[in-house]
Amino acid sequence: MVGIDYITCRFKISGITEGGREDWQNITVPQHGLGRVRASVKVPINGACVASLRKEGLTSVLTGGHSDHALSGWEKADALTRTFDFNQSWALMQINPSRIDDPIGTSVASLDEVSSGLEYIQDPPYLGDWVEIEEHLNYWDLYRLDLTVDVETPGLTQQVLAICEPALLTPKQKVVTYRNYQGDLETVEMKPTTLPRLKVYDKRKESKTGPERVRFEMELPRKTLNKRFPTFGDLTEDGIRECFHEHFAQVIAALSNTENSIYDLQLSSADQKTRREIIGYEYMKERGYTEPLSTTIQKRFLKFLKDHSINSGKDLL
């Protein structure tokens, strides 16, 4: 299943609730001289999930010469009034929808689960305690969408990450890798500025829980969403799956066509050498080569076949 792990939406509101007005204390002017003010608030959903709401509006407050100026005193009161009374008001919300129903887990949510979760938090005591939402969920604009797939990789995590590194590489985009102090791969990432950001990483190490698995993650920015999924109502299970497969096509092809490569990467240098020798010997036998092997080599070949649950050398051809 291709799941949703993070979403940013913009929706129309008629205003903020009187009870929640005092909570909008994080107020800044993002850029000097533009006559706009930004306010935000954190809406608790459960112990592990918080929805971040942000709102911008016009103001006549001057910043004093620099951006991200924190307002205080009469400036804050004036900014509150001007920002929240401004007509045609919109709010931007950021949330990890997977944690609405699964606050302590690491799973990802399906589209149906995201839809029901976002509908659930629109009413009090959640978003409804802070803003008065005017639009149906289907008309919410999408500003960011993270699509993910988890694949269990018992004993294969390093091999999978190693194959993904060259598969993500393109002539125009570099791949960034992150390793732990032992040199093990933890994350392979392609992060362009305008295209979807692709990332493959060791999810068990990142979450410190669950089975050994690799997470394939794609972050769709607003520019990409505008072309494919401009609003939440444009999302479908098939569309999400097609989008994910399209952008991870090279990685999927590399992993699908490298069963032997994954197997090779699990072998030590000595075992890889033995495997090549067995393949060479079996190849020559099929062509009439009959010279017997020494006892030492026979034992080494038999040990290799037994250790790796291979019936005979011919199975390697």
Q: Single out the residue of 11, 53, 7, 6 nearest to residue 141, CA to CA.
A: 11
User: What pLDDT, on a 0 to 100 scale, did the predictor assign at position 87?
Assistant: 43
Query: What pLDDT, on a 0 to 100 scale, did the predictor assign at position 82?
Result: 53
Token pair listed for 148: 């993910």
Burial group, residue 163, by CB count within 10 angstroms (0-12, 13-18, 19+): buried
Name the amino acid, one letter, at 92: L
Average pLDDT, consecutive stretches of 10 residues, N- to C-terminus, the chain (317 residues): 94 81 69 64 88 73 45 54 56 92 87 95 91 93 96 85 88 87 89 85 91 93 94 96 93 74 58 81 81 86 77 70
pLDDT at 58: 57
pLDDT score of 173: 81
pLDDT at 72: 54
* pLDDT value for 100: 92
Checking 203-211 for CB contacts under 8 A at 24+ apart, the result is 203/106, 203/150, 204/157, 205/180, 207/106, 209/106, 210/106, 211/152, 211/154
pLDDT of 64: 43
* pLDDT score of 283: 80
Distance from C-alpha of 283 to C-alpha of 52, rounded to nearest angstrom: 64
What residue segments make up the domains of the chain, in order of their start?
1-139, 147-266, 268-316
Q: How far apart are alpha carbons 213 and 108 in whole angstroms?
A: 13
Q: Which CATH code, of 3.30.2010, 3.30.310, 3.30.70, 3.90.1570, is assigned to 147-266?
A: 3.30.310
**pTM of full prediction above 0.95:** no
Residue 231 makes CB contacts below 8 A (sequence gap 6+) with: 138, 139, 140, 141, 142
- What are phi and psi for residue 30, nearest 5 degrees? -65, -35
pLDDT at res. 67: 45
Separation of first and last alpha carbons in the chain: 35
